[in-house]
A and B are shown apart, each in its own frame.
Chain A
């Protein structure tokens, strides 16, 4: 499988580069000419690619991110309203169309980067690949916790500020007064000395023709009145009465339904298909074979094997007929591959260390280990994980010879549209994509396989088709969080100081910094070896942090215990030159009453993790009894620089924690005879109401550069949990999920002996 880059351009520094994104400009008239028809209706003026104002003085944010529940759209609207000095009650938002105009060069350079020269190194990329530009701008991809910290911080706020200046400029001309005598508030312009005032709408058309400053002035944190407030999310009322539209709620005239099954062994081919029984069943319209699909690059490289779909007049009938198909698949020579053989391979490859690539090398590792008085080694393992979005992958499509239209919930509307066009042999303009609320995304819905399958089926049956994955198909045909093994060695000196840290793990993806540790350990040697498997992998909430957070924050805990030190103090001492991290660690220890004695059978564990620009500290409290673990409480502290919507941020962190906890406690996809063995919530369960911990989240507004919130809650919970279990039982969980670990005490493990003893 090829190198998978979710944010290749970003890591090359396009957005991250200093001084690059300094001005947002709108060329006179241009947005209305090129994009206006896409997003404006009667009485509406498009003043900026991200903003229109109507004749009722309502301002609408046009947002290039999909809503999968993270509340990003409301927070982005807050950022726009803040800089625009808009009346919050007059603010609306809608999702930008998945249209070329929303990510083409004219828009990208003309509006977003007007007057800014790209560094030479970036130009070929930008000119060559529109999609990459869109990605670099965070324009349409929702993932990487990018919405607020990139789109919002760099573009949306600047858009609001620029438009405010354009309105002031237009009013100053009309009123014949200097711009600096005009103030703005609540979506109105005021000239106090003459007593004049007008709503923004009055000058919207004139302002749309103004050439804006390429460096609009942004507010400072102390001036915020809309940002920093917990505004009720706009999408919530529709999500309590059944009216919210998810892709699966779409119904087209004459629509039929498809159920689908792909080869159980990834990459396999269909050897034999007998559909005679299925075709004889009532309501069955067609049985369709779909050849292996492939994608690369920005969609997350994937290759998937053949699949078969049954089309019927109801989904139930389609599923029933699918169940009676006689299918024979090739196993691609993978019938011997199992989770056990995969971990044996990892173990071998780590030991062999062939072509080991180094992330960090500081000091002389051999010398440091020689001088150490205590040596510590451990191997950690995590299994494959599925996403199990609550809404299984599905789409509705209508495809003719020269047109394709698709209704879907996805994390990358423009990328999906490109992918469909390329694979259906159509021009981009011939493909229309309507994006809906996603019933969960978590990274799964950035892979376009389900969109393309649907479009192929629709083309073949020549009528609108809704294709829905069964839960089993969802679990068996995912792009999994990879299984990973990581080998550690640590050296402590006579004073119990950690002097050397060595780590070799298999397979590196993103983000590059995930395996690094923040602690001041003088000698470090962190590296990785390749150990590819045939199991498809993809982005899973927090990506590589989800495994390395568990590994490194567990092993540092082992080192603390080996040194006979308190795990919190041990960490704190090595963070003296990292004040932001230290502040989070101290705060979470304090909020969780770290050090307060606990009853027998209970334990407390701590973790600290920086990811996606945010720092999260967690303390988990557990009770372990009869070998079973109960997570009683999770206390979290996040420093994401600044919380645009504190309540929304808390919800995101707690959501991320439960997602990570589900995986840590129960999550395990196993491979048997080359195929995924799990198929339902019965064998791939999640945290539920009765085992959800009490949670509290505290926010630090440090004023540092903004970080994400959708993912950073996830990585730290597994290590804090494992550390708490160690505190409670003295047993170290080095392989997830926890449910597989034998945590019974000796007495519990041999009750008869205990009984005799008693």
Chain B
């Protein structure tokens, strides 16, 4: 038995302890936004947040989540349903093609910005290089991340001025 918080709700699952979180989330907890792309931590499609950090759920044994706070793409929105700034930027920049990699891309990008609100290009490279997009939308992903990073930079400036 493993108990953890998933998108703000406490969930308990009973399964082989070494089962990757990916399959528990998809099959048992019915959240299918987290995708299977390789099962070997090579593509990033399965990225989730564990205690705020990006992690590949396909190699995360479910037992290791005991007591953790887990967020999936379904939990990236605000509690009131407003889109995360990155999700809006993804729409503004028309990022997805097939869309299959995009949950993982968004989760990696969100973890990056949470830690580093104004990442450089090489910060973006390093945070995102584990996420393959076979549709090749890297340019748009970068633009969308920068759209949010620039906005938060701008907000911070404005905050300073107002304060």
CB distance from A408 to the nearest CB of B (A): 14
Contact of B45 among A237, A238, A390, A654 (CB under 8 A): A390
Q: Which residues of B contact A656 (CB under 8 A)?
A: 136
Residue of A nearest to B96 (CB): A239
Known A390-B37, A440-B134, A690-B129: A240·B98 in contact at CB below 8 Å = no
Within 8 A of B (CB), among A442-492: 442, 468, 470-471
Whether, in the assembled complex, B149 has its beta carbon less than 8 Å from a beta carbon of chain A, the answer is no
Q: Is the CB of A240 within 8 A of B96?
A: yes
Considering only residues 77-117 of chain B, those with a C-beta below 8 Å from chain A are 77, 83, 87, 90-91, 94-103, 106
Is B65 part of the contact surface with A, judged by Cβ < 8 Å?
no
Q: Which residues of B contact A680 (CB under 8 A)?
A: 38, 40, 42
Tell me whether B124 is interfacial, beta carbon within 8 Å: yes
**Chain B 1-38: CB-based contact to A (< 8 A → 1; otherwise 0):** 00000000000000110011001000100111111111
Check if B138 sits within 8 Å of A688, measured CB to CB.
yes
Contact assessment for B91 and A232 in the assembled complex, using a CB-CB cutoff below 8 Å: yes
Q: Cβ of B74 < 8 Å from any Cβ of A?
A: yes
Instruction: Report B-chain residues with C-beta under 8 Å of the C-beta of A689.
Output: 124-125, 128-129, 131, 138, 141-142
Contact between A654 and B19 (Cβ–Cβ < 8 Å)? no
> B72 at the A/B interface (Cβ < 8 Å)?
yes
Query: B90 — nearest CB in chain A belongs to which residue?
Result: A240
A residues near B137, Cβ cutoff 8 Å: 651, 654-655
Shortest Cβ distance from residue B29 to the other chain A in the assembled complex, whole angstroms: 12
Residue A586 at the B interface, CB < 8 A? no
Asked if B132 CB lies within 8 Å of chain A CBs, one says yes
Q: Does B140 contact A (CB under 8 A)?
A: yes
Instruction: Give Cα distance in the complex from A608 to B137, angstroms.
Output: 23
* Contact of B91 with A471 in the complex, beta carbons under 8 Å: no
In the complex, how many angstroms separate the beta carbon of A498 from the nearest chain B beta carbon? 34
CB-defined contacts of A71 to chain B, threshold 8 Å: 97
What chain B residues lie within 8 Å of A690 (beta carbons)?
A: 125-126, 128-129
Asked if A606 is at the interface of the complex by the 8 Å CB criterion, the answer is no
A233 contacts B by Cβ under 8 Å: yes
A241 contacts chain B at the CB level, 8 A cutoff: yes
The answer, among B16, B91, B136, for a CB contact under 8 Å with A687, is B136
* Residue of B with least CB distance to A389: B134
Known: A232-B94, A389-B134. A242 touches B23 (CB 8 A): no
Interface centre among B42, B90, B100, B128 (most CB of A within 10 A): B100
B52 interface residue (CB < 8 Å to A): no
Chain A 692-708 residues near chain B, CB threshold 8 A: 692, 694-695
- Find out whether the CB atom of A681 lies under 8 angstroms from the CB atom of B94: no
Given the known interface contacts A317-B16, A391-B98, A651-B94, the answer about A686 and B27 at a Cβ–Cβ threshold of 8 Å is: no
How many chain A residues touch B (Cβ–Cβ < 8 Å)?
64
Mark out the residues of chain A between 267 and 308 whose CB falls within 8 Å of any chain B CB in the assembled complex. 282
Given known A236-B94, A390-B45, A680-B38, contact A316–B132 (CB-CB < 8 A): no
Residues of B close to A392: CB separation below 8 A? 36-37
Q: Bound complex: CA of A314 vs CA of B16, how far in Å?
A: 10
How far, in whole Å, are A69 and B100 apart by their CA atoms in the complex?
9
> How far, in Å, is A545 (CB) from chain B's closest CB?
17
Q: How far is the CA of A632 from the CA of B100 in the complex (A)?
A: 27
State whether A440 and B135 are in contact (beta carbons under 8 Å apart), knowing that A239-B96, A241-B33, A241-B77 are contacts in the complex.
yes
Measured between beta carbons, the chain B residues less than 8 angstroms from A190 are: none
Which chain A residues (651-672) contact chain B, with CB distance < 8 Å? Answer: 651, 654-659, 661-662
Contacts of A181-203 to chain B: CB distance below 8 A: none
B16 with A241: CB separation less than 8 A: no
A233 contacts B94, CB within 8 Å? yes
| Contact partners of B23 in chain A: CB under 8 A | 314-316
**Pairwise interchain contact A239-B102, C-beta atoms closer than 8 A:** yes
Counting chain B residues whose Cβ lies within 8 A of the other chain, the interface size class is: 35 or more
- Contacts A241-B73, A242-B72, A651-B140 given; indicate if A439 touches B35 (C-beta within 8 A): yes
CB distance B30 to A390 under 8 Å?
no
| Nearest B-chain residue to A70, judged by Cβ | B97
Write the chain B residue with the least CB distance to A317: B16
Residues of B within 8 A of A655 (CB): 97, 135-137
Verify B142–A439 contact, CB threshold 8 A: no
Give A241-261 as 1s and 0s: 1 = Cβ < 8 Å from B's Cβ atoms.
111111011010000010000
Select which of B98, B125, B140 is within 8 A of A438 by beta carbon.
B98
Cβ–Cβ contact B133 & A240, under 8 A:
no
Contact A390 B43 (CB under 8 A): yes
> Which chain B residues border A317 with CB–CB below 8 Å?
16
User: Which residues of the partner chain B approach A70 to less than 8 Å between Cβ atoms?
Assistant: 97
Q: Which residues on the A side are within 8 Å of B87 (C-beta)?
A: 240-241
Q: How far is the CB of B13 from chain A (nearest CB, A)?
A: 11
With A242-B103, A391-B37, A440-B100 as known contacts, state yes or no: A315 contacts B136, CB within 8 Å. no
Q: In the bound complex, do residue A647 and residue B94 qualify as a contact, i.e. CB atoms below 8 Å apart?
A: yes
Question: Within the complex, what minimum Cβ distance (angstroms) separates B157 from chain A?
Answer: 27
Judge whether A235 is part of the interface by a CB distance below 8 angstroms. Answer: yes
| Cα–Cα distance between A317 and B15 once the two chains are bound (Å) | 11
The residue on A at minimum CB distance from B28 is A314
With a cutoff of 8 Å between Cβ atoms, the chain B residues found around residue A647 in the complex are 94
A69 near B97 with CB under 8 A, answer yes
B139 in complex: contacting residue of A237, A239, A316, A692, CB < 8 Å? A692
Known: A246-B100, A391-B100, A654-B136. A468 touches B125 (CB 8 A): no
A468-B38 Cα distance, complex, nearest whole Å: 11
Contacts A241-B33, A440-B134 given; does A314 touch B83 at CB 8 Å: no
List chain B residues, Cβ under 8 A from A388.
Answer: 134
When the two chains form their complex, are residues A471 and B37 in contact, meaning their CB atoms are under 8 A apart? yes
Q: Is the CB of A439 within 8 A of B32?
A: no
Within 8 A of A (CB), among B50-81: 72-74, 76-77
Whether the pair A68, B36 counts as a contact (CB closer than 8 A) is no
Q: Is A437 located at the chain interface by the 8 A CB criterion? A: yes
| CB proximity of A524 to chain B, nearest CB, Å | 34
Q: Residue A756 at the B interface, CB < 8 A?
A: no
Q: By the criterion CB–CB under 8 Å, are A681 and B38 in contact?
A: yes
The answer to whether A69 and B35 touch across the interface, beta carbons within 8 angstroms, is: no
Q: Which residues of chain A are within 8 angstroms of B33 by Cβ–Cβ distance?
A: 241-243
Question: Would you give the 0/1 interface string for B142-160, flagging 1 where the beta carbon is closer than 8 Å to chain A?
Answer: 1000000000000000000
Q: Smallest distance from the beta carbon of B144 to chain A beta carbons, Å?
A: 10
Residues of A with C-beta under 8 A to B95: 236, 240
Give the complex CA separation of A263 and B129 in angstroms: 33
* Closest B residue to A391 using CB positions: B100
Please encode chain A, from 39 to 79, with 1 for each CB lying within 8 Å of some chain B CB and 0 for all others: 00000000000000000000000000000111100000000
Decide: B132 and A686 in contact? CB cutoff 8 A. yes
| Cβ of A649 to closest chain B Cβ, rounded Å | 12
Q: Are A69 and B136 in contact (CB under 8 A)?
A: no
Q: Is the pair B136, A439 in contact by a Cβ cutoff of 8 Å?
A: no
Shortest distance between the CB of B52 and any CB in chain A (Å): 18
Q: A69 touching B42 by the CB < 8 A rule?
A: no
| B123 vs chain A, min Cβ distance (A) | 11
Complex interface: chain A residues within 8 A of B135 (CB): 69, 390, 440, 655, 658-659
Q: How far is the CB of B98 from chain A (nearest CB, A)?
A: 3
Cα A233 to Cα B40 with chains together (Å): 32
If the complex has contacts A317-B16, A390-B43, are A687 and B138 also in contact, measured as CB distance less than 8 A?
yes
CB atoms of B131 and A439 under 8 A apart:
no
Min CB gap A702→B, angstroms: 25
Residues of B with C-beta under 8 A to A758: none
Can you pick out 9 interface pairs between chain A and chain B where the beta carbons lie within 8 Å of each other? A71-B97, A238-B99, A248-B32, A316-B23, A388-B134, A471-B39, A648-B94, A688-B138, A690-B125
Interface residues in chain B, defined as those with a beta carbon under 8 Å from any beta carbon in chain A: 15-16, 19-20, 23, 27, 30-40, 42-43, 45, 72-74, 76-77, 83, 87, 90-91, 94-103, 106, 124-126, 128-142
Interface residues of A (CB under 8 A from B): 68-71, 232-233, 235-246, 248-249, 251, 257, 282, 314-317, 319, 388-392, 437-442, 468, 470-471, 647-648, 651, 654-659, 661-662, 680-682, 686-690, 692, 694-695
Going nearest first, the 3 A-B pairs with the smallest beta carbon separation are: A242-B33, A658-B136, A439-B100
